[in-house]
Copies of this chain bind each other. A is one copy, B any other.
Amino acid sequence: MRGADAAGRAVEARARAVSGPGSEPADTPVVPESGADASARAGDGPVGASGANDPVGVPTMFDVARHAGVSHQTVSRVLNDLPGVAAATRERVRESIAALNYTPSPTARAMAQRRSGSIGLIQAGRPDYGPSSAALGFNEAAREAGYAVSQASMRTLDADVLTQAVHRLVLQRVEAIVLISGEREGVDVLRGIDAGVPVVAVASEPEPGLHRVSFDQSAGARLATEHLIGLGHRRIAHVAGPSDSMDAAERRRGFAAALEAHGLEVREPVAGDWLAASGHAAGRRLLDEGWATAVFVGNDQMSLGLLHACHDAGVAVPGELSVVGFDDIPEAAFFTPPLTTVRQDFDSLGRDIMATVADVLRDEAAAPDHTSRVPELVVRASTAPPRG
């Protein structure tokens, strides 16, 4: 249906373009504005292409131009706030734009300008609370900044798939590419590609030559650890995230630093994979060992698993073991017991990403920058002084 309409319009337009110039000049112009008449008579291509009062087609710049009695270029100038337009004309064009409810075509603009007004977002990994929230925050911020977001997400990070995704986005002429992925490999792959556009990544480890945004994971871990130390714990264990995660590494680093600062023993962390099941397994192991009086767990999901293991083993939390998590997912307040954890405001992180993108786009030559936020400790009921 829509196809037929378009064809009909094209034919009609062509007929008008041919017959118009032949008859009109002889008659007295009906339209008072001479400018309007001239531009209408020019009839070169685009002018005739969209009917005078076609109710179906989206209005183009030429429709606005005719309506305002100026050339399409003047409309363009008004649209882009360029100088060289008299105030009165500018006003008249604005009115025509409003009258026709005109909005410029991003596609055509992208074509002519070789920029698209859109940003590519790659989210790699599980759709966990953190990345999803950050992506959402970014999306909203981008929209507010007038950018479209072209998303290319993947459940698992695969170098080939990632590379393909980047190329796709580049072809779409995105102006920047944002990567939200905890895995180090994602950042590495991206750095290896010359996308030709700026890349902003969420990365908590220093990444030379890359614009990045992150929470200070190490500081967050120190917060958590020092909270435990402050309560009087001396034997504190750590359940870490996967080794390919930058956040996991940074949290581990912060944890160790805090212990060392207080002269406490730093044991090798138990490795997890962020999922509750691994936290459960880690909990079993720690309880078997029986060394620790407190655990700093890499994230809230694993904490849940660990709490579960404690419950199974009849170990009271926080009575016999204190637990601190990381992230503060919405559910953490309702764990049994409510989890003391380190809160990251992912929404703001997403907005920081957009802010960084805007900065980079403003001055592409700028040296890679790093925006960092410090997470905050939320004390609930899973921590207490050690027994005795």
Contacts and interface: CB of A to CB of B under 8 A. Distances in A.
B152 A143 contact: yes
Interface string A23-46: 000000000000000000000000
A168 B148 contact: yes
Contacts of A148: 150, 152, 168, 172
A334 to B, nearest CB: 4
A287 interface: no
Contact of A1 (B6, B173, B364): B364
Q: Count chain B CB atoms within 10 A of each CB in A107, A139, A311 and give the residue with the most.
A: A107
Contact of A105 (B118, B171, B277): B171
Interface stretch (A207-215, A223-231, A301-309): A301-309
Contacts of A155: 136, 140, 347
A152 B149 contact: yes
A260 B208 CA distance: 65
A132 interface: yes
A77 interface: no
Q: Count chain B CB atoms within 10 A of each CB in A153, A280, A301, A304 and give the residue with the most.
A: A153
Contacts of A153: 135-136, 139-140
Interface of A: 1-3, 6, 103, 105-108, 110-111, 114, 116, 118, 121, 123, 127, 129, 132-133, 135-136, 139-140, 143, 148-155, 165, 167-168, 171-173, 196, 275-277, 279-280, 301, 304-305, 307-308, 311, 330-331, 333-336, 338, 347, 364-365
A164 B114 CA distance: 25
A337 B172 CA distance: 49
Contacts of A165: 143
A365 B2 CA distance: 9
A136 to B, nearest CB: 5
A334 B280 contact: yes
A171 B277 contact: no
A331 B149 contact: no
12 contacts: A139-B152, A140-B153, A140-B154, A143-B152, A143-B165, A148-B152, A148-B168, A276-B331, A280-B334, A307-B336, A308-B334, A308-B336
Contacts of A331: 276, 301, 304, 331
Given A107-B172, A123-B136, A127-B129, 8 more contacts: A107-B116, A111-B111, A139-B153, A155-B347, A275-B330, A301-B331, A304-B331, A305-B334
A114 B60 CA distance: 13
Q: Count chain B CB atoms within 10 A of each CB in A132, A279, A308, A311 and give the residue with the most.
A: A132
A228 to B, nearest CB: 22
Contacts of A139: 151-154
Contacts of A347: 155
Nearest to A153: B139
B330 A276 contact: yes
B330 A301 contact: yes
B334 A121 contact: no
Contact of A107 (B2, B111, B280, B311): B111
A101 B364 CA distance: 27
A6 B365 CA distance: 15
